[in-house]
Structure 1
Amino acid sequence: MESHNGELDSAKLLRAQSHIWNHIYSFINSMSLKCAVDLHIPDVIHNYGQPMPLSKLIASLPIHPSKTCFIYRLMRILIHFGFFSEQNFTEQNELEVEYALTDASMLLLKDNPFSMTPFLHVVLDPMLTKTWYHLSDWLKNDDPTPFEKAHRMVFWDYASHDANLNHLFNDGMASDARLVSSVLIEKYKEAFQGFDSLVDVGGGTGTVAKAIASSFPQLECIVFDLSHVVTGLQGSGNLKYVGGNMFEAIPPTDAILLKWILHNWNDEECVKILKKCREAITRKGKYEGKLIIIDMVISENAKRDDKSVETQLFFDMQMMVLLGGKERNEKEWAKLIFSAGFSHYNITPILGLRSVIEIYP
């Protein structure tokens, strides 16, 4: 912090102060976004059918009359972060602002089939956010994860006993699955061709498997997940549900899908899962059987200010805090793949922050 002549560099000091402030207060961004979603602001603007004046937005929201003056300030920060756009217009000789949706807020609409609102609700639920207060204490003791430090049981056990968390988690995963399956089938349908059967391991309520089964009617699809997840779910046609534990055995199949599963687990657990997958893969069908993984591959060459890397690092910390898992670079993926006895793999980065990793016995 000193200049060449030994005096304090005030410009650097103030920049450092601002940098720290931004990170101290960064939670305000996500909490402001949650507030907008809780008030249904994206849906209100969308239903208006055109850019919506502030006065009409205020009149349409379920807020107390004493709080109307604060909506402009809420919208101002969300505009700054790209969730809405604004423009000024003159109404009866008075200048007023009106708001429109952006690509980001379109993904927060309740009726958008790719809505990310359920994902927002689970990640920002107090049950999960309170876990972060235990991060530093966790590093000082032998608890497996900060979540266990906070709640005295592993995440999966907690979800199986807490109906609200289980509902939030399944809805959040299903919302992401709808978006991913749409892009995957449109951009990379060859990944599922040439097989007679596929098991979606950890497939939750079956959102991805349903899309695959519909697009490939010759493919027998099984959604395989823990019993409390699939109990009561009904299959149809070429789709069925099977309860079980992927650490014990996976139903025999030509191909296996692991969407956003392995980042939940540490390396030792991942190797166990991969070995069970390899045991389950048969050699029937036109092509050799394979394992299809949808997960992040962290780039080691990206610039530090690359927002996609920042998001991947957020996910890596989330996995560490909640589940004891991690996001991996290609070298780390290769180590897992070969440790489980697979012969080769191919990475195709077609899903934004995530990639399709095809692994062969």
Structure 2
Amino acid sequence: MHKTHINMNVQSPEDLIQHQCLVFHHSLSYVKSMALKCAVELGIPNAIHRHGGSATLSDIVAGTGLPVSRLPYVQRLMNFLSICGVFTESNPPAAVTDGKKGEAVVYKTPMSRLLIDDGNKLSSLSCLVQFVVNPLLVNTFFDMHTWLKDEQASSTKSFFEMTHGCGRFEMAKSNADDNAMFNNAMVAASQITMEVILREAGCDIFGGLSSLVDVGGGHGAASAAISAAFPHVKCSVLDLPHVVDKAPADGTVQFIAGDMFEFIPKADAVLLKWVLHCWDDQDCVKILRLCREAIVPAREAVGKVIIIDIVMGAGSSQDTLSKETRALTDLYMMHLNGVERDERGWEKVIREAGFCDYKIVLVTALYSVIEAYP
């Protein structure tokens, strides 16, 4: 029988075991995403919230309508999610009350508060979790290695297209459930991001404008937030017909059906939020050139393109979580041939599109605001 020998002289037994643990940890990391999705779909954050912010395992089982026989499995799920920091968990009391052994109490955390929807999914990141961790997207990444090996395929199509036979946005157009899931996720993420941006830098970015068009703005969550904070700014959203058709018609934001590669309505400013990272440099430059034409000569004194996106390496010091999340996002964008750019990459596409100057301000742990001036 063939025997495999590991050269123990390369590293100490302690290091060897530690690195073996790392391999296990990274190989099983997908289970963390699935556990988070499971908790969201069971409504566990909601159940804890409705119970006043803390609940025993029995309370959680009852509050989610699960069979009592599932309690031991719920205990294992909550133990893991508490170790990960999604929730916090107290040790069960040592005393026995009324003949029953005490139970651990699970508490909500600042993170789990973001997963509470309780009747309004669009105010919660629960729909973002369900969008990112869904079979359509997860299955795509099983073909990443095949796509990387196939130079001909990788030069003409994304590995999403190689897997599913159509592009990412074509899928959303033909699949109503996918389209709804995507737009709901973007609304929820936009609300939190825009709340921070408007609070920290809103006046500097939007204060001098009278009109703004949000390109690829989905259901208008960002534009609605801007309009509420700056009522004098006339906001409109440009997106594809199948997106605009499902947008809320509340009169706050004007919706325009169209293709960003064909035309962009005139306005003082064009907003591109999480749009340009979906495209390679060539397509990114095309979009930016049309944006530049839309703001010149309409209001040359204040005209600008406002980009809200990740800037890789932004900030003087990056904590490990932010750095890894940015890198994960960059890897995630590969599935549709997108890319997260560093400042040099952003400068390249901005200059090639004909803009004279730009400014970058880091406003959240992940996102920066880039203003490009014609």
Q: TM-score range by the shorter chain?
A: over 0.9
Give the Cα–Cα distance (whole angstroms) in 2 for the partners of residues 166 and 223 of structure 1: 17
Structure 1 position 344 matched with structure 2 position 353? no
- The answer as to whether partners of 2:219 and 2:246 remain within 8 angstroms in 1 is no
What whole-Å deviation, never above 9, does each CA across 1:312-333 have from its counterpart, x for those lacking one? 1111111101x10011111111
Tell me which amino acid in the other structure corresponds to 2:195: S
Tell me which amino acid in the other structure corresponds to 1:131: T
What whole-Å deviation, never above 9, does each CA across 1:43-100 have from its counterpart, x for those lacking one? 1111011421223223333223432211111100000100111113345173421011
- The answer as to whether partners of 1:194 and 1:285 remain within 8 angstroms in 2 is no
Comparing 79-88 with 157-166, which one deviates more in the overlay? Answer: 79-88
Comparing 129-138 with 225-234, which one deviates more in the overlay? Answer: 225-234
Give the Cα–Cα distance (whole angstroms) in 2 for the partners of residues 264 and 315 of structure 1: 11
Pairing 1:237-276 to 2, within 5 Å after superposition: 239-276=253-290
Give the Cα–Cα distance (whole angstroms) in 2 for the partners of residues 290 and 41 of structure 1: 44
- The answer as to whether partners of 1:198 and 1:256 remain within 8 angstroms in 2 is yes
Following superposition, the deviation at residue 23 of structure 1 comes to 0.6
Give the Cα–Cα distance (whole angstroms) in 2 for the partners of residues 260 and 301 of structure 1: 19
- The answer as to whether partners of 1:254 and 1:283 remain within 8 angstroms in 2 is no
Tell me which amino acid in the other structure corresponds to 1:136: H
- The answer as to whether partners of 1:196 and 1:285 remain within 8 angstroms in 2 is no
Give the Cα–Cα distance (whole angstroms) in 2 for the partners of residues 359 and 54 of structure 1: 52
Structure 1 position 167 matched with structure 2 position 180? yes
Structure 1 position 177 matched with structure 2 position 186? no
Match of 2:114 in 1: 107
Give the Cα–Cα distance (whole angstroms) in 2 for the partners of residues 130 and 105 of structure 1: 26
Match of 1:124 in 2: 133
Give the Cα–Cα distance (whole angstroms) in 2 for the partners of residues 314 and 7 of structure 1: 30
Give ranges in structure 2 of 5+ residues lacking alignment. 1-5
Aligned partner (choices 147, 152, 170) of residue 138 of structure 1 = 147
Give the Cα–Cα distance (whole angstroms) in 2 for the partners of residues 41 and 194 of structure 1: 44
Distance of aligned partners of 1:227 and 1:303 in 2 relative to their CA distance in 1, 3 Å threshold: same
Match of 1:312 in 2: 326
TM value normalised by structure 2: 0.90
Distance of aligned partners of 1:203 and 1:304 in 2 relative to their CA distance in 1, 3 Å threshold: closer
Comparing 303-312 with 47-56, which one deviates more in the overlay? Answer: 303-312
Structure 1 position 326 matched with structure 2 position 329? no
Match of 1:189 in 2: 202
Match of 2:79 in 1: 76
Comparing 112-121 with 349-358, which one deviates more in the overlay? Answer: 112-121
Match of 2:105 in 1: 98
- The answer as to whether partners of 2:219 and 2:248 remain within 8 angstroms in 1 is no
Following superposition, the deviation at residue 219 of structure 1 comes to 1.4
Distance of aligned partners of 1:206 and 1:8 in 2 relative to their CA distance in 1, 3 Å threshold: closer
Distance of aligned partners of 1:216 and 1:235 in 2 relative to their CA distance in 1, 3 Å threshold: farther
Comparing 300-309 with 116-125, which one deviates more in the overlay? Answer: 300-309
- RMSD, aligned CA: 2.1
TM value normalised by structure 1: 0.93
What whole-Å deviation, never above 9, does each CA across 1:222-279 have from its counterpart, x for those lacking one? 1001111112546555631111111111111110000000000111110111111111
Tell me which amino acid in the other structure corresponds to 1:55: S
Pairing 1:207-226 to 2, within 5 Å after superposition: 207-226=221-240
Following superposition, the deviation at residue 14 of structure 1 comes to 1.4
Comparing 235-244 with 96-105, which one deviates more in the overlay? Answer: 235-244
Structure 1 position 19 matched with structure 2 position 22? yes
Give the Cα–Cα distance (whole angstroms) in 2 for the partners of residues 7 and 193 of structure 1: 61
Give the Cα–Cα distance (whole angstroms) in 2 for the partners of residues 7 and 200 of structure 1: 56
Structure 1 position 48 matched with structure 2 position 51? yes
Tell me which amino acid in the other structure corresponds to 1:21: F
Tell me which amino acid in the other structure corresponds to 2:139: K
What whole-Å deviation, never above 9, does each CA across 1:275-310 have from its counterpart, x for those lacking one? 111111134559420000000011178789711010
Give the Cα–Cα distance (whole angstroms) in 2 for the partners of residues 360 and 301 of structure 1: 22
Aligned partner (choices 4, 7, 13) of residue 10 of structure 1 = 13
Aligned to 1:245, the other structure's residue is in SS state: coil
Tell me which amino acid in the other structure corresponds to 1:60: G
What whole-Å deviation, never above 9, does each CA across 1:169-193 have from its counterpart, x for those lacking one? 0001111111112112211112112
| Identity among equivalent pairs (%) | 38
**Greater than 6 Å deviation, 4+ residue runs:** 300-305
Give the Cα–Cα distance (whole angstroms) in 1 for the partners of residues 296 and 145 of structure 2: 46
- The answer as to whether partners of 1:345 and 1:357 remain within 8 angstroms in 2 is yes
Aligned partner (choices 28, 31, 51) of residue 28 of structure 1 = 31
Tell me which amino acid in the other structure corresponds to 1:70: Y
Distance of aligned partners of 1:232 and 1:353 in 2 relative to their CA distance in 1, 3 Å threshold: closer
Give ranges in structure 1 of 5+ residues lacking alignment. none
Distance of aligned partners of 1:210 and 1:301 in 2 relative to their CA distance in 1, 3 Å threshold: closer
